[in-house]
Chains A and B, each alone.
Chain A
Amino acid sequence: MKAKLIRAMAILTLILLVSVAVGLIAGSQKIDFSRLSSDPFSRTLFFRLRLPRVLMGLTIGASLAVTGASLQALFRNPLADPYTLGISGGGALGASVAITLGWSARILGIPWVFVASFLGAMAAAALVRAISRTGAVVLPGALLLSGVVVNLVSAAAVLTIQYVADPNSALQILRWLVGSLDVIGVAAVGRMLILLVPAWLALLALSRQLNLLAIDEDTAATLGVNVRRCETTVHTLCSLIVGVTVAMGGSIGFVGLIVPHAVRLMFGEDLRIVLPGSLLLGAAFLVLADALARTAIPSSELPVGAITGLLGGPAFLWLLRRRRQYAAM
């Protein structure tokens, strides 16, 4: 098992390195890497735009994939991810309220927008959980349906706010609905990582408990897992991670759904491999998707959320067909 983990990490790290190289090279403007030290234009392009954008893709891709993998295990539902459970939508709503009210201040270096987005994600997660849990059972249908409804209502609310607010913030809010990675400078990514890295590690530390929960809830409890506490912890961590990523990149769909399944197909079901694997493959996947978004149409740029949707949707349907038992959910 340990050997399997090391092998998986080695393969995925290699994929990650390749995707980072592609992400740094791809773009509408060619960067002459040999003149990076002498040419100020190349230097600005690389260090202020290209590099931050790749780092942003790594951060958000890793975040969405690891939360998707955790939520799928927690609810024993292969179709769960931050998007289908309404957590992204709640986060987007929180962030857009904060932006409309002009909360640009920071506390201890953490922007208020992050806090609002986290609270929105948390509220959405709690609502969906309350609706779908009856006693000891989480109803899989109710889980997904209430998640989708929360997402739709949130999107409608974000749109309403957009119309009411002034055009300046409306443009910003549009980004939350589409999902995009454009960022200037590495400072913003740094501010995200202060919150995200501890949350990632906390999720990874729960991977054994999540593995037991993915098999069965009752036997997980008799094997020593405190189910309610684990559920609350995972929910809070996922809301935090999704809140922060949505506040910066918007609700980018399908990454949290597709990447964990890809890792499972490659390396099996053990969550102690699937969770760190999703972290690496999610990062690689979003950087590649963004490279494609930047180069697919010459002299123009697609939102990365469109690419992940176009790639992820068919992959999702293929998965559903390949593993018929999921359709019975």
Chain B
Amino acid sequence: MNGAHPLTPLMEARQVEFAYPGGARAIRVSLAVEAATMTAIIGSNGSGKSTLIRLLAGLLRPTQGSILLEGKPLDDWQPRLRAREIAYMPQATATVFPFRALDVVLSGRTPHAPRFGFENDRDRAIALESLAAAGAAHLAERCVTGLSGGEKQMVILARALAQEPRVLLLDEPAAALDLKHRAELMRTLARLRDDRGLSVVMITHDLQLTGSLFDRIVALRCGELAAEGPPQEILQAELLAAIYDDPKVRTTRVGDQTVVWVDK
């Protein structure tokens, strides 16, 4: 379906290193993202999770190594074509202008629409579909400035879905969501993975989320890969204790779920 070699991963961070100007924090990671998989990135605050996802999104350029999409370095992609492959959802968006939610979602169609034209009926249909998939159909006519943090996140997620990407990069999308919408978000993402072959890379602090639906967990510690593997391998007390630098981390199995907590 793409010209790449069948063994080429959909996305790859090949010996990527990054340092912010001034050299405050560095990251050194190699990582492959396969098609139709869900990957969770975990790690303590400041471990480089957001830096990694911003590197994958092309918002930061590696100082060493390269990020490949379908075997081709991100910089060699035409921005417009790249935007059809990768969508990114930041931790928060602070839009000051009272845009209508549906118009925000429609703007996600930009990489597919003609350069100087407006979005057509098909784009509109896809935007409405995406809003429904994100559980935000009822917000279509609302102003984004009047929405709560969680509602706004759902609209921004719908916008990323409207982009119809092959890779969806999410920076803590669940942080502002309540229990119900968290579960709904996970179900939506899993469905898109299974139906459309979407690859999801998601930062999360909620280890409960990572247990059942993710295919893989990538753990970062101080900018380096601390562990990588399927959830049942990573969600072990000793491993998590090392990742989070806290010897009191405990885990237990409840049905097919792993519960993680910290002892008093």
Residues in A neighbouring B88, C-beta threshold 8 A: 218-219, 222
- Tell me, rounded to whole Å, the shortest Cβ–Cβ distance linking B80 to chain A: 4
* Nearest neighbor of B20 in chain A, beta-carbon distance: A135
Residues in A neighbouring B117, C-beta threshold 8 A: 2
- Interface size of B as a range: 35 or more
Q: Given that A215-B93, A216-B95, A325-B145 are contacting pairs, would A223 and B108 also be in contact in the complex, using a CB cutoff of 8 Å?
A: yes
- Tell me, rounded to whole Å, the shortest Cβ–Cβ distance linking B123 to chain A: 10
Residues in A neighbouring B87, C-beta threshold 8 A: 222
Residues in B neighbouring A78, C-beta threshold 8 A: 96-97
* Nearest neighbor of A209 in chain B, beta-carbon distance: B110
Asked if B100 and A223 sit within 8 Å, CB to CB, the answer is no
Asked if B95 and A76 sit within 8 Å, CB to CB, the answer is yes
Asked if A218 and B118 sit within 8 Å, CB to CB, the answer is no
> Which residues between 141 and 177 of chain A lie within 8 Å of chain B, taking CB atoms?
none
Q: Given that A215-B107, A221-B59 are contacting pairs, would A226 and B100 also be in contact in the complex, using a CB cutoff of 8 Å?
A: no
> Which residues between 80 and 97 of chain B lie within 8 Å of chain A, taking CB atoms?
80, 82-83, 86-90, 93-97
Contact with A along B130-157 (1 / 0, CB 8 A): 0000000000000001000000000010
Asked if B95 and A225 sit within 8 Å, CB to CB, the answer is no
Contact with B along A222-247 (1 / 0, CB 8 A): 11111000000000000000000000
Judge whether A1 is part of the interface by a CB distance below 8 angstroms: yes
* Nearest neighbor of A79 in chain B, beta-carbon distance: B96
> Which residues between 51 and 75 of chain B lie within 8 Å of chain A, taking CB atoms?
57-59
Judge whether B103 is part of the interface by a CB distance below 8 angstroms: yes
Asked if A323 and B98 sit within 8 Å, CB to CB, the answer is yes
A-B Cβ contacts below 8 A, count: 85
Asked if A205 and B116 sit within 8 Å, CB to CB, the answer is yes
* Nearest neighbor of B54 in chain A, beta-carbon distance: A218
Q: Given that A1-B118, A78-B96, A269-B100 are contacting pairs, would A221 and B58 also be in contact in the complex, using a CB cutoff of 8 Å?
A: yes
Asked if B82 and A215 sit within 8 Å, CB to CB, the answer is no
Judge whether A308 is part of the interface by a CB distance below 8 angstroms: no
- Tell me, rounded to whole Å, the shortest Cβ–Cβ distance linking B24 to chain A: 11
- Tell me, rounded to whole Å, the shortest Cβ–Cβ distance linking B170 to chain A: 12
Judge whether A329 is part of the interface by a CB distance below 8 angstroms: yes
Judge whether B246 is part of the interface by a CB distance below 8 angstroms: no
Judge whether B225 is part of the interface by a CB distance below 8 angstroms: no
Judge whether A103 is part of the interface by a CB distance below 8 angstroms: no
Q: How far is the CA of A78 from the CA of B99 in the complex (A)?
A: 13
Q: How far is the CA of A219 from the CA of B116 in the complex (A)?
A: 19
Residues in A neighbouring B145, C-beta threshold 8 A: 325
- Tell me, rounded to whole Å, the shortest Cβ–Cβ distance linking A47 to chain B: 38
Judge whether A182 is part of the interface by a CB distance below 8 angstroms: no
Contact with A along B203-214 (1 / 0, CB 8 A): 000000000000
Judge whether B199 is part of the interface by a CB distance below 8 angstroms: no
Asked if A215 and B110 sit within 8 Å, CB to CB, the answer is no
Judge whether A48 is part of the interface by a CB distance below 8 angstroms: no
Judge whether B104 is part of the interface by a CB distance below 8 angstroms: yes
Known contacts A2-B117, A219-B159, then 16 further A-B pairs from the complex at CB < 8 Å, ordered by chain A residue? A2-B118, A212-B107, A214-B95, A215-B97, A215-B99, A216-B90, A218-B90, A219-B160, A222-B86, A222-B88, A223-B83, A223-B107, A223-B111, A224-B80, A224-B111, A323-B98
Listed in ascending order, the chain B residues whose CB lies under 8 Å from chain A are 21, 57-59, 79-80, 82-83, 86-90, 93-100, 103-104, 107-108, 110-111, 115-119, 145, 156, 159-160, 163
Listed in ascending order, the chain A residues whose CB lies under 8 Å from chain B are 1-2, 5, 73, 76-78, 135-136, 205, 208, 211-212, 214-216, 218-219, 221-226, 264, 268-270, 272, 323, 325-326, 329
